[in-house]
Amino acid sequence: MLPQEIVRAKRDGRELSAEQIGEFVAGIVSGAVSEGQAAAFAMATYFKGMTRAEAVALTLAMRDSGTVLRWDDMPGPVVDKHSTGGVGDTVSLMLAPMVAACGGYVPMISGRGLGHTGGTLDKLESIPGFRVDLDTARFARQVDELGVCLIGQTARVAPADKRLYALRDVTGTIESIPLIASSIMSKKLAEGIDGLVLDCKVGTGAFMKDTDRARALCAAIRAIGHAADKRVTCVLTDMDAPIGKAVGNALEIAESIDVLSGGGPADTRELKI
């Protein structure tokens, strides 16, 4: 089908096949699908939604649009954690090295701020000289040597998602549950992980403010994980108040170091552990 025919089918509420979705995603990467067509697809999905089968097909197609990492020789579990974002959210900064210290391996591809919520990459970049733009070879080497590495999304990992996400950000379609779930899981599956913990923040200080929508997102992500034969656990975290006592990139880095050193606010320590 032509890209516009796929957009029209989704606009009219018809279910797309895995082949149609795969063709459209391939076109996003190759350039056969224009930015306008990709944006129209996102908007049609925002209003018409997706079946579970469509969301799974979109996720797997975006995962396979680039490099999928493999960790066959790792002596421990390869896992990751993702947060939907909230004020003062420093879980990734502390949990990843804690898991590595316990023998796990965490190849974490993180994101930037969304709305009023700070991003893990923005926080890390408040450290002078810290780089989040490592290539996949160096990323894999650091995971192997250190047990953990946090980087930003590269051009080689889920490139279709990177392009579609950029369009969603400027077309008012960020809030679509199937697009959120597919975006998160395409990157996480491309990491080659065995399991994932989704920390879904809910409340006035979170990106997800409604409990019902948060539960719907968790259900969608678990379904995609099940289809990909990955173990996914979801946790709902109250974000009606900031976590810890620090708000701001550099301040949150300092508090994270304090917690990892045995100090820090009690609520922050409890959540991480």
**Same domain for 172 and 226?**
yes
- Point out the catalytic residue in the list 188, 201, 222, 272: 188
pLDDT digits (tens, 9 = 90+) for 57-89: 999 999 999 999 999 989 999 999 998 877 767
Last residue of a domain, one of 11, 32, 63: 63
Which CATH number is 43's domain given? Answer: 1.20.970.10
User: Tell me, what's the pLDDT at 4?
Assistant: 98
Which CATH number is 213's domain given? Answer: 3.40.1030.10
**Same domain for 176 and 236?**
yes
201 is catalytic: no
* % of the chain exceeding 70 in pLDDT: 97
User: Tell me, what's the pLDDT at 90?
Assistant: 83
Give the C-alpha separation, 100 to 134, whole Å.
Answer: 19
**Same domain for 45 and 164?**
no
CA atoms within 13 A on the CB side of 134: 20
Strand ranges in the chain using DSSP code E only, listed in sequence order: 79-83, 106-110, 148-152, 195-202, 231-238
Residue 221 has phi, psi (to 5 degrees) of: -70, -40
186 is catalytic: no
**Same domain for 18 and 97?**
no
**Same domain for 110 and 13?**
no
pLDDT digits (tens, 9 = 90+) for 150-162: 998 888 999 999 9
Last residue of a domain, one of 39, 63, 87: 63
* Number of domains present in the structure of the chain: 2
pLDDT digits (tens, 9 = 90+) for 113-129: 665 666 888 899 999 99
80 is catalytic: yes
Is 256 domain-assigned?
A: yes
pLDDT digits (tens, 9 = 90+) for 39-49: 999 999 999 99
Is 214 domain-assigned?
A: yes
Is 222 domain-assigned?
A: yes
- Point out the catalytic residue in the list 10, 168, 222, 272: 168
**Same domain for 174 and 254?**
yes
- Provide the domain limits for residue 209: 79-272
- Point out the catalytic residue in the list 10, 63, 81, 201: 81
pTM above 0.85, yes or no: yes
Is 72 domain-assigned?
A: no
**Same domain for 99 and 58?**
no
Give the C-alpha separation, 263 to 257, whole Å.
Answer: 9
Average pLDDT over residues 230-239: 93
